[in-house]
Structure 1
Amino acid sequence: MKKLFKKQKETVDLNRRSFVIGSASAGLIMAFAPSIMSFDLSAAEAVSQEVFSPTIWWHMTSNGDVVINIAKAEMGQHIGTALARIVADELECDWEKVSIEYVDTHKKWGFMVTGGSWSVFQSFKPLSQAGAAGRMSLIEAGAKILGVKPENARAEKGRVISGNKSVSYADIVKKGKFNRTFSADEISALPIKPANKRHLTGINQDFKALDIPAKTNGTAVYGIDAEVENMVYARPVIPPTHFGSEVKKVDDSKSKTIDGYLGFEVLKDPSDTLQGWVVVYAKNYPAAIKAVDLIKVDYKKGETANVSEDDIQAEGKRLVNSSSAGTLFVDEGDVSKARVNAKENIEALYTTDTANHYQLEPLNAIAEYKDGTWFIHTGNQWPSLTLPVLAKSLGVAQEKIVIKPYYLGGGFGRRLYGDWIIPAALTAKAIGRPVKLVFTRADDSLFDQSRSASTSLLKASFDKEGQFNGLEQAFAAGWPTKSMAPSFMPPGIDGSGKFDPFSASGADHWYSMTNHRARAINNELAQKTFVPGWLRSVGQGWIVWGLESFIDEIAHKIGQDPVQFRLSMLDGKGKQAGKAPESVGGAKRLRNTLEVISNKVSSIKLGKDEGIGFAVSAGQERTMPAWISTAAHVHVNRQNGKITLKKLYAVVDGGLIIHPNGALAQIEGSLLWGASLALFESNAYKDGQLSSTNFNTYLPLRMNDMPEMDIEFVDSNEFPVGLGEPGVIGVAPAISNAVFNAIGVRLRALPMKSHHVKNALNA
């Protein structure tokens, strides 16, 4: 297997680029090139001269080996294998001859991001076309060798075949001459294989993953493994407040007693990302750890030095109860009129505590200045977001920075915005040597981009006949996009400001409702206390928690079965019909998953104080829905309040499944993450900082709490969507609804702890 630590991204503008396929010393190269240049030279000349800096999607050696470039970050989601399957399936090559390479941050790769469960979804069409163009070119060249017309030949598993004659791709590359350009119009017209012609993608395919061997035999290189010559080790001193801290005085007299201690730097960051930062550096990392523990830094603290979790939650509650706060995200029908004319209205407040990423590999980066260029060694999910800020911090052009990719020991959204690179780079610039900066678990926790505490107020109205006829949802939290990518924020439909779409998605659900309003509100106290982060499932994880629990409340209020109530609203009418290519079938596909899962659990015999609850979700966004129904089987101990999650069920319609084993792993992991957030994970801000900084006090799901899982994928030929995050979304409301069905109490705070159960039972 080829190098598995290099990276970048392949989402490019097909309107401005053309495919070129040409012969080269390495064999056959297939690349994107700017249209304006690709016609000035022949494809062969362009490839051989490299005049257009081609974005090389794949190349084939004279032995028939296919190397596919991966411009995504690998963090356990098997993205390299999935993307390679797309190319290889259309190319009709032998999977045993396929390998992958991760590319660095050269501008030719375009906008680079690995997040939002977008990788397969955004890459499927262009990668399919790249493979199809290669297959067509190989058939043409192979047919010429065989002495037949291209229309009388076909490609199959690395060979071009015509009747009883065939020639291998390897021989075609050796003997043939490739000089083919596909215009942008020709690219868009390239056909993508129908499902019945695929041999590498689809729910029933099972081929080896290309990324697993290196992870299991120890050859995979993670960011924390990287080393360069002459480097020193560093550890940061995390300031008492994220914003507004200033260093007044540093006393390193005790640090000087540590063997290997070299000194410290007070960082001045032109980007203003880091405020009040001190970094200690040493000959080895243990010395750096000890030196930070002994150094004394006198600070002027920022204005949030006394902010607590209760303060943030209280502000959230104030905001959702204010009709003037925030901006409208959804406004259909007339919710206000429905409420005024209602026979009855009900409302409920749902909250979530602060939660953290706690990825296995703590943050780390090496910064090295060499030959006029800054080289950064780290694992980063969103280099295109990181590079401009890093360039500003260093005072150089972005082109003078190269981020070299490595495996990520967990990302989950924390490694999207690479703010941890900045202290490594500024320290290296200050001392004139390469710096490897590694955060301890506690450092990592204190610098984490927390999933903000959230508050959701939901209101339902019922007409004169007592039927449900209106839903209003107001939800408040700190917004990641406001802090890190404000240009991604669209205006609200009422023109009263912009909102974070990733902290609103999910409120624009797939239920048909006559009157529906959703209001997105930024909790500014959270926003100025820390940098809110994108954590796996992002806003859907807390917005749908309230929504799907409240849907159950509405169903019970009107005396309907919660599953049947949902099915009645998943009619696929109007905007809920979906659209091509990403949401063909719309709400009816979500309805199907709910019908399947309902039938699956219908025969389960429940014991005393046991219940099964349901939830539906369509994350990540309406523009890329993964249709999932979730069911949770729980037991609740009335004496001590403990909730035991016995089993989770999920029925998933993700369209065409590219890499079945990878998809299963993604859903398994996301279901367990959802269970962890639902029942265990909680942190609290105290005096402007997180109070839990390690696994002795921050308690995620443990092995002895693992539920059984039953996961079923719908066999679908529709456009593939992402599956990395959506499985998280439905778990918490399914558990909450199961608890109600088990013991008749409604829990409205995450995580659902035993004291919540006991308090509800005693209320």
Structure 2
Amino acid sequence: MTSEVSRRDFLKASAAGAGFVLTFRIAGGATSAAEAAGAWEPNTVFTIDPSGIITVHITKAEMGQGVGTALAQIVAEELEADWRDIRIDYPTSDPKYGLMLTGGSWSVNWTFDALSRAGAGARHLLIEAAAKHMNEPASECIAEGNRVRHLPSGKFLTYGDIVSKGLITATLSDEELKKIQLKKPAEYKVIGKWIQRLDVPEKTNGRAKFGIDRFLPGMVYAKVIYPPTRTGSKVVSVDDSEARKVKGYISTVREGDIVAVVAENYLAAVAAQGKMRVTWDKGPHANVTTDSITQDYWNKAKNDTSAPSWVDVGDADGALAKSMKTHEAAFWTDYVGHAPLEPMNCVARYQDGTFDFFSGSQFQTRAMGDLSKLFGVKPEQIRVHQQYLGGGFGRRLEPDVMLEAGLIAKAVGKPVKLIRSREDDIARDFYRSCTLQVLKGGIDSSGAVIAWKNTLVCAYPGERYGGLDKQGRDQFSLNGSDHYYDIPNQFVRAIRAETGMEVGYVRAVAPNYTFFAVETFVD
């Protein structure tokens, strides 16, 4: 797959800390169902309805980390909202939300300022509107607990009153929004306080809906027959004669090298999957084994001197030659699967040229871009209906299960539910790369470390996330090998090794294998 998000845009979003588009709209021109019904949606962040209920739209994935509650707290703080009136939802993917991505522990720090200003800006407009309606100076009014109060007289209007009366007629420019003075930490009333997570009640009473819980009218079930290699296999022939005998079997779908069976229920789909006979050309990775990968990595570490450096400071080889004492060690880390508790799944529907995907996604923006290209439709014709995630850890950054479900749904003309077995889930993972890191260090007569050399061999998932840098390096795979120890002579060589095993990112703010090797070697 080729990502729709360029590396430049990906990093730009990280630096800007926005994560979504923040605009304030002028009341009167209803641009959503909520506004048409009398609710006020000043921006893409939240909506206030005529009863005063505030719904914060969470564009980050809730996968057990409590992000919905945290982001709602940020909005509530500057909005001066009564926490009892706060609700959250997880909107369907839409370009208006900007970058919909959850990973790397970025959700709060990327969005804190923008969410704070969304709340503060709306508070400003609410005060102005209420003051005008009460015929009092805005400077004498404050917002607190979902209402605007005139301090000298005690008169007040609730947020619900202001919205239901349609009193807000002003808007804020981007420049005005930037000038708003935000609260200082000492003034916080909501942020930093213990608050019961908003997702906990429905997760304890059974109302919470994960991707695997989604059902649509007329839905059928599918199972994919996966090839014997992770990549590169091609279908030679398909024999579904025995599968057709399974009670509940509906059809066989072949789309390129994706082969699936469709059945009336999940158990029938599993039974039919077991009866399918697919002959494969195993392709270029047919003979890849643990031994062959190990040998390939060691050969690259010893012989590849043309790969680009990642760190090159001073003269590491010269300093090693002059060192009083040297030490060398090699560190091997294996492939690591994500194995979320909820296996990969998706319900897909194709209707009137639009694909609807009901699944838990960590990267809705990428899913829209990738799938629109693969299906030959516009990005707005790809709708990801966000569900709770039963674990993510980076696995649900990938839209592969959506692609399979979408292809099958389009072929059969019905909504399709695809659930991978645990075995298929592990076999089709995007693993954290196995790595080989060969480190050598040297100390001088005083015991100070004066030389450091590291040869790092690993695969690069970054090509799917906007590309590599100009020297062909993946900074997210190499981060951490450029440590912060004050060593005058350092050299790190970055060697890429692709073995036919798909690789991705596993829960961490960086590739933890580099820190494992660096810190262990230092010890």
Partner of 2:159: 169
Q: For residue 480 of structure 1, report the CA deviation from its aligned partner.
A: 1.4
Partners of 1:444 and 1:347 in 2: CA distance = 38
Task: Output the amino acid matched with 1:469.
Answer: I
Residue deviations 1:716-750 (CA, integer Å, cap 9, x gap): xxxxxxxxxxxxxxxxxxxxxxxxxxxxxxxxxxx
Partners of 1:85 and 1:539 in 2: CA distance = 27
Partner of 2:469: 490
Partner of 2:516: 545
Which secondary structure state, in structure 2, belongs to the residue aligned with residue 19 of structure 1?
coil
Aligned mate of 2:115, from 86, 105, 127: 127
Change (3 A) 1:544 1:170: same
Aligned mate of 2:182, from 180, 192, 205: 192
Partners of 2:377 and 2:131 in 1: CA distance = 52
The answer (yes or no) to whether the contact 2:455–2:494 under 8 Å persists in 1 is: yes
Q: For residue 260 of structure 1, report the CA deviation from its aligned partner.
A: 0.5
Partners of 2:106 and 2:199 in 1: CA distance = 19
Q: For residue 164 of structure 1, report the CA deviation from its aligned partner.
A: 6.0
Partners of 1:442 and 1:401 in 2: CA distance = 29
The answer (yes or no) to whether the contact 2:126–2:162 under 8 Å persists in 1 is: yes
Change (3 A) 1:505 1:128: same
Q: Tell me whether 1:265 sits opposite 2:250 in the alignment.
A: no
The answer (yes or no) to whether the contact 1:235–1:437 under 8 Å persists in 2 is: yes
The answer (yes or no) to whether the contact 1:28–1:60 under 8 Å persists in 2 is: yes
Q: How does 1:60-459 map to 2 (within 5 A)?
A: 60-161=48-149, 162-163=151-152, 165-167=154-156, 168-175=158-165, 177-202=167-192, 205-268=193-256, 276-322=257-303, 324-459=305-440
The answer (yes or no) to whether the contact 1:62–1:174 under 8 Å persists in 2 is: yes
The answer (yes or no) to whether the contact 1:21–1:30 under 8 Å persists in 2 is: no
TM-score computed with the length of structure 1 as normaliser: 0.63
The answer (yes or no) to whether the contact 1:87–1:127 under 8 Å persists in 2 is: yes
The answer (yes or no) to whether the contact 1:236–1:443 under 8 Å persists in 2 is: no
Which secondary structure state, in structure 2, belongs to the residue aligned with residue 531 of structure 1?
coil
Q: For residue 356 of structure 1, report the CA deviation from its aligned partner.
A: 0.7
The answer (yes or no) to whether the contact 1:142–1:176 under 8 Å persists in 2 is: no
Which secondary structure state, in structure 2, belongs to the residue aligned with residue 469 of structure 1?
strand
Q: Tell me whether 1:536 sits opposite 2:507 in the alignment.
A: yes
Partners of 2:445 and 2:152 in 1: CA distance = 74
Unaligned 5+ segments in structure 1 are 1-8, 33-55, 269-275, 492-496, 553-763
Partner of 1:29: 40
The answer (yes or no) to whether the contact 1:74–1:407 under 8 Å persists in 2 is: yes
Q: For residue 358 of structure 1, report the CA deviation from its aligned partner.
A: 0.8
The answer (yes or no) to whether the contact 1:28–1:178 under 8 Å persists in 2 is: no
Change (3 A) 1:287 1:65: same
Q: How does 1:12-23 map to 2 (within 5 A)?
A: 18-20=23-25, 22=27
Residue deviations 1:41-94 (CA, integer Å, cap 9, x gap): xxxxxxxxxxxxxxx321212222111111122111111111111100111100
Change (3 A) 1:225 1:253: same
Does 206-215 or 328-337 show the bigger shift? 328-337
Q: For residue 311 of structure 1, report the CA deviation from its aligned partner.
A: 2.0
Pairs aligned (count):
502
Partners of 1:322 and 1:381 in 2: CA distance = 39
Q: How does 1:305-704 map to 2 (within 5 A)?
A: 305-322=286-303, 324-482=305-463, 484-485=464-465, 487-491=466-470, 497-525=471-499, 529-537=500-508, 539-552=510-523
Q: For residue 411 of structure 1, report the CA deviation from its aligned partner.
A: 0.9
Change (3 A) 1:389 1:169: closer
Q: For residue 254 of structure 1, report the CA deviation from its aligned partner.
A: 2.1
Change (3 A) 1:246 1:219: same
Q: For residue 506 of structure 1, report the CA deviation from its aligned partner.
A: 1.5
Q: For residue 473 of structure 1, report the CA deviation from its aligned partner.
A: 2.2
The answer (yes or no) to whether the contact 2:481–2:514 under 8 Å persists in 1 is: yes
Unaligned 5+ segments in structure 2 are 1-12, 29-34
Q: For residue 460 of structure 1, report the CA deviation from its aligned partner.
A: 1.1
Does 112-121 or 511-520 show the bigger shift? 511-520
Partners of 2:62 and 2:26 in 1: CA distance = 28
Which secondary structure state, in structure 2, belongs to the residue aligned with residue 347 of structure 1?
strand
The answer (yes or no) to whether the contact 2:313–2:490 under 8 Å persists in 1 is: yes
Residue deviations 1:154-212 (CA, integer Å, cap 9, x gap): 2222233314615232333345611222222222222221001111112xx11121111
The answer (yes or no) to whether the contact 2:18–2:111 under 8 Å persists in 1 is: no
The answer (yes or no) to whether the contact 2:254–2:260 under 8 Å persists in 1 is: yes
The answer (yes or no) to whether the contact 1:470–1:514 under 8 Å persists in 2 is: yes
Q: For residue 533 of structure 1, report the CA deviation from its aligned partner.
A: 1.5
Q: For residue 26 of structure 1, report the CA deviation from its aligned partner.
A: 4.4
The answer (yes or no) to whether the contact 1:412–1:536 under 8 Å persists in 2 is: yes
Task: Output the amino acid matched with 1:445.
Answer: I
Aligned Cα root-mean-square deviation (Å): 2.4
Partners of 1:460 and 1:110 in 2: CA distance = 45
